[in-house]
Amino acid sequence: MTENLLKRFLKYVRIDTQSDEASTASPSTPKQMDFARLLRDELLALGVADARVSEWGVVYASLPATAEGVPPIGFIAHMDTSPDLTGAGVKPRIVERYDGGDIGLDPAGGIVLSPREFPELLRHRGEDLVVTDGHTLLGADDKAGVAEIMTLAEYLMQHPEVRHGRVCIAFTPDEEVGRGVEHFDVQGFGAEWAYTVDGGEVGELEYENFNAAAVRVEVSGRNVHPGAAKGKMLNSQYLAMRFAAAVPEDERPETTEGREGFYHLTGIAGSVEQTVLTYILRDHDRARFEQRKKYLAETAARLNAEAGGERIRVAAEDQYYNMRERIEPCMHIVDIAAEAMRRAGIEPRLTPVRGGTDGAMLSFKGLPCPNLFAGGLNFHGRYEFVPVRSMELALQTLIKIVELTAQKR
């Protein structure tokens, strides 16, 4: 089983499925649809008769129950990789029995994966690691999850003696650009609850995430010839800088952790005539989240009053909310996952996600959906890696969840 898990993972990461945040198509890149069809065909070959791909590029499948009266549950992973670094031409390499030293990804190019910069490497001394060649991301986010769920399906199909309810499977596109479950058919999926397999280090179990909003700040100026500008010119860039300076310095991503929220300036572009600032706002607490939006609006109002006109306009768009609101009423689904980890020899770590997952959006669509570890680390960059043992433990956790759900019906 482990051999097939690793074989699948190495195959999947070599397939480019990078999503595109600038695209309005769904999925955002055609290559994701190609991967979806490949996964459908593999499921059909395993004997999963209802495997299919929707017009939106979502793969759905289900394994029939082998026991009566057991609630149907689901497992979900995303197929796309991040736009932050290319996913084309991925060349995975296995570092056998990692010795705790530097790993030369591209020694000639000076690209080194070192425990000095990434001390989490030392937690996996003696294990086999899958790394990149230093020029692409790896794609363990979330092809480790995809491979683990596919291997779970293979295991259950080959072991009909395992008692379980209906096991629903889905693979989504475009998670990395925030559109992974826009067209997800919760009713057709058929699960009472589900788990996204999209976390990092072994033991991660998450049912809290940020409330999130995207904010666009448009600043208008007035341009005249600089030789005759006195008393006439209003440089939008200076006004934009005053706005940015009003955002608390100690409430940025680089100064916060845990459940601390932040304002994150993601872009700035402008001229004398107009400047645009883009932010993302994040907070685990809904009241503080709303206060952050209010603070930016009040800052704009204050600066507008000083400028003598409506020069700054703030538009905020909510992106997703904290799934804790929807999961706390059914905490048994978290308890099952935690117990499954313990039975697999893992100590569960319940940590808040400093980000979002497909599961957050699905929870608000009526499908409670905590997030489980998939095993990878250093996502979205050239230093991404995944210990093979971590993927094995993720697979064992999925199997235990299926078995425990049948036992606790």
DSSP state for residue 369 in the 8-state scheme = -
The one catalytic residue in 174, 175, 198, 208 is: 175
CB within 8 A of 111, min separation 6: which ones?
104, 105, 134, 135, 382
What is the C-alpha separation between 268 and 237, in angstroms, rounded?
Answer: 9
Whether 318 sits among the annotated catalytic residues: the reply is no
Instruction: For residue 389, give the nearest of 81, 95, 46 by alpha carbon.
Output: 95
What is the C-alpha separation between 372 and 374, in angstroms, rounded?
Answer: 6
The one catalytic residue in 42, 80, 174, 206 is: 80
Instruction: For residue 218, give the nearest of 252, 263, 269, 262 by alpha carbon.
Output: 269
The residues facing 204 across adjacent strands are 349
Whether 175 sits among the annotated catalytic residues: the reply is yes
Q: Measured between alpha carbons, how far is residue 369 from residues 74, 99, 205, 337 in Å?
A: 9, 37, 11, 11
The three-state (H, E, C) secondary structure of 151-207, written as one string: HHHHHHHHCCCCCCCCEEEEEECCHHHCCCCCCCCHHHHCCCEEEEEEECCCCEEEC
169 close to 189: Cβ distance less than 8 angstroms: no
List, by residue number, the catalytic residues: 80, 175
